[in-house]
Amino acid sequence: MKKYIFYFLLLAIFGAGFGFYKYNQPHKETSGNKPDIIISPAELLKAYESDESAADKTYLDKIIETEGTVKAINEIEMGSSLTLDSGSELSSIICEFESKSAILEIKEGDRVKIKGFCSGKLMDVILVRCSLSKI
């Protein structure tokens, strides 16, 4: 009987430990992780404009690495955000960064390489939790 209680307690401790680990599991980050797909801003936009649901199947939640010219630094209140030129006047690639300091040294016209999770397309294709890669 004592043995069963012991096993039960052991299982409970493991269960609680696993639950606690899952609960506090950190986000998967783009920095330090290899990209799943490497694509140019123009190609990514084209894929979304020609068939959005097919593009969603290919790119959603994947780490996308893309290299392009900064069209604008967007003024936002939390974190930071920039727009990558995609050759189109109307639509671009918007890249969100979680920290306020992530792109302080970047300015309009700079050439950058960015990794981010694709979250889909509204007017623009949006990459979230981005990080800068060295060119």
Partner 1 sequence: MAFRLFASIILNKYLMKHSFLIAAIFFLSASASFGQRYFTKTGYVSFYSDTPIEKIEAHNKSANCVLDLNTGKLEFGVLIKGFQFEKALMQEHFNENYLESDKYPKALFKGQIDNYSKIDDTKNGKITCKISGDLTMHGITKKITTDAEIVVNNGKIEAESQFNILVADYNISIPSLVKDQIAKSVKVNVRLNLEQLKM
Q: Does 98 bind partner 1 (CB under 8 A)?
A: yes
Q: Does 123 bind partner 1 (CB under 8 A)?
A: yes
Binding segment for partner 1 (CB under 8 A), chosen from 7-15, 40-48, 77-85, 104-112, is 77-85
Query: CA 132, CA 81: separation in Å to the nearest integer?
Result: 12
Exactly one of 30, 39, 103, 124 binds partner 1 (CB under 8 A); which one? Answer: 124
φ/ψ of 63, rounded to 5, equals -80, 115
Tell me the closest approach of the beta carbon of residue 60 to partner 1, in angstroms. Answer: 7
Amino acid residing at 57? K
Exactly one of 26, 34, 101, 109 binds partner 1 (CB under 8 A); which one? Answer: 26
Exactly one of 9, 11, 12, 76 binds partner 1 (CB under 8 A); which one? Answer: 76
Query: CA 15, CA 76: separation in Å to the nearest integer?
Result: 41
DSSP state for residue 61 in the 8-state scheme: T
Q: Map residue 134 onto helix, strand or coil.
A: coil
Q: Which residues are CB-contacts of 71 (< 8 A; sequence separation ≥ 6)?
A: 82, 83, 84, 85, 92, 108
**What residues between 27 and 46 interact with partner 1 by CB under 8 A?**
27-28
**What residues between 101 and 120 interact with partner 1 by CB under 8 A?**
117, 119-120
Amino acid residing at 91? S
Q: Does 50 bind partner 1 (CB under 8 A)?
A: no
